[in-house]
């Protein structure tokens, strides 16, 4: 559960002590499977993703987030997941392919050779149908 505390609420013009932003959220993601989180405007998609990605710093987060049954550690989660916002900022001077190459070099183990790394990038481009936008 994610709640905003009293001072944040007062600053935003609310009278009540706490505003619950997410409640009763659960889910599971399978390894190696691209997952899309979809819902109507205001459903809490961005809030949920910000909590999972460790980007939500205000308010209170109650409950458990586990990965393979273990409590989530942010540094581990950042290595095994990727989160691209709907209106993310990308350089107009870098192609989609170059962006994925950069991400792969940051995320993948240094033990993975260049050919395997390239294979991963090609697979991601195929999975998310980015090949027509490659360059």
Q: pLDDT tens per residue, the chain (135 residues)?
A: 545 555 555 566 655 666 778 888 888 887 777 777 888 888 888 888 888 888 877 777 778 888 878 888 888 787 777 777 766 677 889 998 998 898 888 878 889 899 999 998 998 888 888 899 888
Instruction: Give the domain range for residue 31.
Output: 1-87
Count of the separate structural domains present in the chain: 2
Q: Is the same domain home to 80 and 99?
A: no
pTM over 0.85: no
Q: Is the same domain home to 27 and 53?
A: yes
Strand 2-4: give its sheet, edge to edge.
19-22, 2-4, 60-61
Long-range pairs for 61-69: beta carbons < 8 A, 24 or more residues apart? 61/1, 61/2, 62/1, 62/2, 62/3, 63/1
- What backbone phi and psi angles, to 5 degrees, belong to 109? -60, 145
Q: Is the same domain home to 100 and 132?
A: yes
């Amino acid at each position: 559960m994610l709640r905003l505390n009293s001072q944040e609420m007062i600053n935003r013009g609310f009278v009540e002590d706490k505003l619950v932003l997410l409640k009763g959220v659960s889910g599971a993601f399978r390894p190696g499977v691209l997952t899309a989180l979809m819902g109507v405007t205001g459903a809490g998609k961005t809030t949920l993703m910000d909590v999972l990605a460790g980007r939500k710093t205000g308010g209170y987060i109650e409950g458990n987030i586990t990965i393979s049954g273990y409590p989530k550690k942010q540094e581990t989660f950042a290595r095994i997941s990727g989160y691209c916002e709907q209106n993310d900022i990308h350089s107009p001077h870098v192609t989609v392919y170059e962006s994925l190459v950069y991400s792969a070099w940051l995320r993948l183990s240094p033990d993975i050779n260049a050919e395997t790394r390239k294979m991963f990038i090609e697979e991601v481009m195929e999975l998310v149908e980015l090949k027509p936008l490659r360059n």
